[in-house]
Amino acid sequence: MSDGTTRRLDLKGITKAFPGVLANDDVSFSVAPGEIHALLGENGAGKSTLVKMIYGIMQPDAGEIRFDGELVHVASPKAARAMGVGMVFQHFSLFEPMTVLENIALGLDEAISYADLEARIREVLETYQLSLDPHRTVATLSVGERQRIEIVRALLLEPRLLIMDEPTSVLTPQEVAQLFDTLRALAARGCSILYISHKLHEIVELCHSATILRGGRVVAECDPRAESSRSMAEMMIGGALKEIEKAADRSFGVERFIVGGLSLEADDAFGTSLKDISFSVRAGEIFGVAGVAGNGQNELMLALSGERPVESAGAINIDGNPVGTLNAEKRRRFGLCAVPEERNGHGAVPGFSLSDNAILTARTRKNMVRLGVIDAGVAESYTNEVIGGFAVKTTGAKAPASSLSGGNLQKFIMGREIMQAPDVLVVSQPTWGVDAGAAAAIHQELVDLAARGSAIVVISQDLDELMAISDTMAVMNEGKLSRTLAVGEASVDEIGLLMGGVHGDPDATADYAGATHAA
């Protein structure tokens, strides 16, 4: 150790192989006490595998892990927690009908009375200035508050290393600022933080050091404060970052996709009902729908794509044709294609070949069916067109969808819909879990499709993505859609406040924004 102090975490030569891939190849880096260390890399770079080994979910094939200078074998997450490692996962494991207190009690390794536990929880909340009511039911909490439960759960164990896996992907900008305050306070008390993310501006803002992984190997270590988002992105993808090419003089045509007074009851207790949603999208326009997850985006997607038809036909119109009561297949005949958020089991059937997955949504528009009989040849040639046109890496049209990486499958699904030349395209989270190279390609295809005169709706939680590709946008909050903003004139703060539910009162917005900036 060059500086002579004991490192909190020290990895040497960590290697882990799965059938067909080397997920981690000779990975070494270390984290000092009280340091916020970023682990950066594209999807599939090996970040998750690495932290799973630190947290004891899996064990390395080779290499050593030292914790506070001691060589350790982390046999299980329980062993990791006992050692002083806490982890907050990207996907929360919470029981919605139960209270905060009950949820935390369930996750503890030791048995402790509710009264003692509550006292300890309140102590942690006090220390880190977190607001959370231990007696509230999880179902009534926002995503930011739910994440706080996970953080409190980890902090109760007084960890010396806290691992945060993509913690901000579901938060509003204001919630992100609060989270960062908490993490800084934690680091100031000597707890090390391993922060996994692909959002570079956050890393620049928060982290003291960064390790960049690509293809399972460490390709660079840097001080994010001395780098730009762009320079780190290029280290991450190992090449120059492509800008989206968007014609500056683009103009919009007639309104092609009109939604008016769309309401839909949630179909389960924890869903969000849609309330009187109205917007319109013109030819050549990309309309972004921002919002924190769980505010009705899933229901909006199902209602727009036709997976859940609504009662009023006139609530949704494609080129003047009312289609509200039609199912997804009938809407495709009117020119509406869609890409849902979840790839596996929704956008595609994992066990089916790519060719069969092409039949799933392209059979009508691409004439794959005659008298109820499928023409496998037509399906296969269309599949090959999609594979070629969207540079999908696969062994061919007969390969099962499950054999493709997330990014490649997403490219295939996007390609399958875009090459049907839809008049209206509705996509949800188009680049969720997709590497930067594939994301750039998908963004460019969406912009190009709009340039050819289609109307496009993009529902996304990634505000940066929407700011980059959409022309106009609105924000969803509790099943309602805000007024439409032109992207050029909307500020991130304003959108963030709409995401948090401050609607249309300019004074309140200004006050609130001022308050957060001051804080």
Q: Which of 330, 384, 448, 453 binds another protein (CB under 8 A)?
A: 330
- Contact yes or no for 472/287 (Cβ under 8 A): yes
CB of 459 to another protein, least distance (A): 15
**Residues in a beta bridge with 474:** 289
Minimum distance of another protein from residue 117's CB (angstroms): 34
d(CA 257, CA 472): 14
Residues 247-266 that bind another protein (CB under 8 A): none
The one among 208, 214, 332, 366 contacting another protein by CB under 8 A: 332
Contact 255, 234 (CB under 8 A): no
| 77 contacts another protein (rule: CB under 8 A) | no
Q: Which residues contact 30 (CB under 8 A, 6 or more apart)?
A: 1, 7, 8, 9, 10, 11
**Structure token digits, residue 397:** 């049209």
Residues 289-308, one symbol each (x = binds another protein by CB under 8 A, - = not), give ----------------xxx-
The site for another protein, by CB under 8 A, has a size of 39
Taking CB under 8 A as the criterion, the residue among 350, 389, 437, 453 binding another protein is: 350
Question: How far, rounded to the nearest angstrom, does the alpha carbon of residue 335 sit from its chain's CA centroid?
Answer: 28
Rounded CA-CA distance 410/403 in Å is 13
Minimum separation from the CB atom of position 59 to another protein (A): 4
Cβ proximity to another protein: between 7 and 332 the closer is: 332
Q: Give 348 or 386: the residue with its C-beta nearer to another protein.
A: 348
Residue type, 301: M
Nearer of residues 263 and 403 to another protein, judged by Cβ: 403
By CB under 8 A, the residues from 267 to 286 that bind another protein are none
**Whole-number minimum distance, CB 377 to another protein, in Å?**
12
Contact between 345 and another protein by CB under 8 A: the answer reads yes
Contacts (CB under 8 A) with another protein, residues 39-68: 59-64
Closer CB to another protein, 313 or 360, in the complex: 360
C-alpha to C-alpha distance for 124 and 136, rounded to whole angstroms? 17
- Within residues 403-422, the interface with another protein by CB under 8 A covers 403
* Amino acid at site 494: E
CA distance 50 to 38: 13
12 vs 246 by CB, closer to another protein: 12
435 binds another protein per the rule CB under 8 A: no
One-character DSSP codes across 91-129: S----TTSBHHHHHHHH-SS---HHHHHHHHHHHHHHTT
Comparing CA positions, the residue from 353, 360, 442 lying closest to residue 396 is: 353
Task: Say which amino acid occupies 349.
Answer: V
Tell which positions 351-370 bind another protein, by CB under 8 A: 351-352, 356, 359-361, 363, 369
Residue 49, classed as helix, strand or coil, is: helix
Site string for another protein, 16-35 (x = CB under 8 A): ---xx---------------
Nearer to another protein, 50 or 117 (CB): 50
Shortest Å distance, C-beta 413 to another protein: 10
Of 370-389, binders to another protein (CB under 8 A) are: 372-374
438-475 burial string, b = 16+ CB within 10 Å, else e?
bbbbbbbbbbebbeebbbbbbbbbbbebbbbbbbbbbb
Binding site for another protein (CB under 8 A): 19-20, 59-64, 305-307, 327-330, 332, 338, 340, 342, 345-352, 356, 359-361, 363, 369, 372-374, 400, 402-403
